Amino acid sequence: MSQFLQHLINMLVLGGTYALLGIGLTLIFGIMNVVNFTHGVLYTFGAYIMFIVVHQLGVNFFLALPLAVVAGWLLGAAIELTLLRPLRGSDIDTTMLVMIGAWIAMQSGALWIWGGVAKSVTTPFPEAPLVLGPVSVSWLRLFVLAAAAMLIVVTYLLINKTKLGGAMRATFQDRDTASLMGVNVDLIYTSTFAIGSSLAAAAGALLGPVYVIFPQMGDLAAVKAFAIVILGGLGNITGAVIGGFILALAEELGAGYVSSGYRDAMGFLIIIAVLIFKPTGLFARSERVG
Amino acid sequence: MKSSVAIVSVLALASVPLWLRDPYLMNALITTGIFIIGAMSLNLLLGFTGQLSLGHIAFFGIGAYVSALTSLGFDAGLPFDLRMVHEPWPPIIGFVLAIVVASFCGYLVGLLSFRVRGAYFVIVTISFAEVVRLVALNWVELTQGPLALTNIPSITIGLPGLGDLTLRTKLQNYYLVLAVAVIAYVLIARLVHSHFGRAMRGLMENETLAVSVGIDVTKTLTLAAVISAGIAGAAGSLYAHYIRIIDPEVFAFINTVTMVIMVITGGKGSLAGPVVGGLIFGLLPVALRPIMAPEAQWIAYGGVLIVILFVLPRGIVPSLAQRFARRPKRIEKVVPVAFSERDAKEHA
């Protein structure tokens, strides 16, 4: 039983960052209809920015997180303006392949700049974990959970309470009508991609110190984000949050009770199962897929 | 491509070992040839049915593992205290089994995935390849996991009157790969120009219309997936018996991307496209090796893919074919490719 409780605690920590990844991707996928293969690289960049800011610039750990978010925002906006805006109106396969090209170039760039040796970030948190009865959790992981929860709430408020969020939701529902109502669709697209990218960078900056940082770390993160998006349904933010926690739970239980080697297979098995049995996602209104 | 051009090209490729003695370049040509076979099979799905399969390396890798395990033998445990024991068989049987098993996997993926299209199909195929990779990595008893399967025997061909010939040298493997590539090319060409090929392209260009004239979507797409996977499995088998060592990294996503780049740059939906694109991208690392670090080469790869999609969205071969075929009567020789919305507007 205590082992199960421990898995639940781990699930909460992991699920929070997975939810961030998922929200970012589901916004981009849902509003722009772009399969964003650079999402994983932005996760990687977020983690490296954490490393650079803390270790090479000597800035405070807690200040590094907002810096990573800003850097992800800028990089996302740059990708949207240079690669996606000229391709607006072309079919989904073309934009997908362009994003794959960008992903290869950026990931190889990370490998070139920072090398293949894994790096780790030292944190200001005490080594000794917080022990609560039968379970224990490190302070770093608690911080990750709190920060992820805060970012999820901020994003939720941004989408649901602000004018920009209203315009984004309108564009998601009907691009042409939104445009006729005076929504600047180009601006919405750039903002959406930038916000999604900054959330991916934030997830990388949060999980980077928990694990180690290396150029290919984003590959699995990207596929997990796809799993979460499919699980929660296209463009469904609440679904992405729940999907993030479901994926984390499946991974924890799979690793704990099946085999740790198959931990990362859980995301893919979930994708396949959901697409076979309920391709609109677990929480979706009925909607045409594909 | 006109048949005279095809014959001259094959003869030119067949003459390469006569004047090229450098073993490094021969090796690059053989592995490029193997990947071109894979790219041709991908083109059957991507170029002629419009389905972007980003898990294509799974069929290639499954072919490689099946062929290697058949010729090496294995002894692996199953649940309920059962054991699966297999004595080594000749590699040529492995080659056949590789095609059979890969085709079957193609059937399963085809059956499952054509329920979902577009981005969802892409993600299902990626997931399938990753699950297979993780199984290859973790089922150590069967696949040796990250330790790799080593000492895979070379393919032996029984020649009438000459006894058995084991293909060990680069020269022999070059001609083997060339022969399989030509067979695959002819097979795909005949398929594309058959009734079935027209059904596939009909589906790609206007599914609703194709269905209304009686084309069975699921049957057509599944059959295309089966044949495509079988050819990829054959390529994987050649790879295993040539390189003679395989590990789960063969399933890496970047290998699928390499095939996709070959198809897209050469021209999807063009029979010669994957060959042209494959030769360019297979030999590009050889040309770049003296002047660029490997990481920088990959940056260039990604950059070239983006530039080609912006500049030549239809690929090299269709663009050239269009340029050389200005006269109306030859337009029909150009194999049609999918028009994007933007293309349609330009043509209107």
Average pLDDT value for residue range B67-91: 80
Does residue B335 have a pLDDT over 60? no
Could you tell me what percent of chain B has a pLDDT over 70? 90
CA A71 to chain centre: 15
Section A85-93 average pLDDT: 83
Eight-state DSSP code of residue B116: S
Q: Say yes or no for a CB contact (<8 Å) between B299 and A262.
A: no
d(CA A157, CA A121): 31
d(CA B161, CA B23) in angstroms, rounded, equals: 30
B144 phi and psi, to 5 degrees?
65, 5
pLDDT reading at A172 higher than 90:
no
Question: Residue A247: pLDDT above 60?
Answer: yes
What is the mean pLDDT of the segment spanning A206-221? 89
d(CA B270, CA B272): 6
Please give the backbone phi and psi of residue B246, each rounded to the nearest 5 degrees, phi first: -135, 145
Average pLDDT over residues A38-44: 94
Residues B116, A90: C-beta atoms closer than 8 Å = no
What mean pLDDT is predicted for residues B241-252? Answer: 89
Q: Is residue B342 scored above 70 in pLDDT? A: no
pLDDT at B323 over 80: no
pLDDT at residue A285, as a whole number: 56
Taking the Cβ of residue B207 and every Cβ of chain A, the question of whether any pair is shorter than 8 Å is answered with: no
Distance (Å, rounded) from C-alpha B107 to C-alpha B331?
A: 35
- pLDDT averaged over chain B? 83
Place A153 in a pLDDT band, splitting at 50, 70 and 90.
Answer: very high
Mean pLDDT of B236-246: 92
Distance CA B226, CA B49 (A): 13
With CA atoms as reference, report the closest residue to B116 among A288, A82, A28: A288
Query: Does the pLDDT at position B197 exceed 50?
Result: yes
Task: Specify the pLDDT at position B326.
Answer: 60
In this prediction, residue A290 has a pLDDT band, given cuts at 50, 70 and 90, of: very low
Q: How crowded is residue B132: how many other Cβ atoms within 10 Å of its Cβ?
A: 22
B contact test, residue of A25, A108, A214, A277 with most B CBs within 10 A: A108
Report the gap between the CA of A215 and the closest CA in chain B (Å).
11
Residue A284: predicted pLDDT: 59
- When pLDDT is averaged across residues B248-272 and rounded to a whole number, the result is 87
Please determine, for residue B37, whether its predicted confidence score (pLDDT) is greater than 60. yes
A256-271 residue pLDDT tens: 887 777 788 887 888 7
Of B116, B137, B298, Cβ closest to residue A279:
B116
Above 80 in pLDDT, residue A192? yes
Mean pLDDT to the nearest integer, A61-88: 92
Report DSSP state, residue B334: S
Q: Burial-class residue A176 by CB neighbours within 10 Å (0-12, 13-18, 19+).
A: exposed
- Flag the least confident range among A157-171, A182-196, B70-84: B70-84
Q: Does B115 touch chain A (CB under 8 A)?
A: yes
What whole-number distance in Å separates Cα of residue A58 and Cα of residue A254? Answer: 39
The beta-carbon neighbor of B116 closest among A83, A112, A289 is A289
Structure token digits, residue B14? 């067949």
pTM of this prediction?
Answer: 0.83
% of chain B beyond a pLDDT of 90: 24
Residue B233 has pLDDT above 90, yes or no: yes
- The pair phi, psi for residue B163, each rounded to 5°, is 80, -165
Tens digit of each residue's pLDDT (9 = 90 or more) over B121-173: 888 888 889 889 988 988 888 888 888 888 888 887 777 766 677 777 888 88
The percentage of chain A sitting over the pLDDT mark of 90, rounded to a whole number, equals 38
pLDDT at B33 over 90: yes
Q: Give me the mean pLDDT over the A76-102 stretch.
A: 89
The percent of residues above 70 in pLDDT, for chain A, comes to: 98
Average pLDDT of every residue of chain A: 87
- Greater confidence, B162 or B27? B27
ipTM: 0.83
**If contacts are CB pairs under 8 Å, which of residues 132-171 in chain B contact chain A?**
134-135, 137-138
pLDDT at A287: 47
CB contact under 8 A, A112 and B128: no
- Asked if residue A45 has pLDDT above 90, the reply is yes
pLDDT higher than 60, residue A286? no
DSSP state of B246: B
Q: Where is pLDDT greater, at B332 or B75? A: B75
Between B44 and B213, whose confidence is greater?
B44
Residue A288 has pLDDT above 50, yes or no: no
- Kindly list the distances between the CA atom of residue B254 and the CA atoms of A98, A160, A203, A268, B312, in Å, as whole numbers in the listed order: 15, 39, 24, 17, 22
Cα separation, A230 vs A226, in Å, equals 6
**What backbone torsions phi and psi does residue A182 show, to the nearest 5 degrees?**
95, 10
What backbone torsions phi and psi does residue A87 show, to the nearest 5 degrees? -95, 5
pLDDT at A289: 42
Cβ-based neighbours of B19, under 8 Å, separated by 6 or more: none
- Could you tell me which residue, B334 or A266, shows the higher pLDDT? A266
How large is the average pLDDT for residues B187-216?
86
B111 interface with A at CB cutoff 8 Å: no
Residue of A nearest to B253 (CA): A219
Segments in chain B forming alpha helices (H)? 3-19, 23-46, 57-72, 91-113, 118-138, 140-143, 170-192, 195-205, 207-212, 217-243, 253-266, 273-288, 294-311, 316-324, 328-331, 341-347
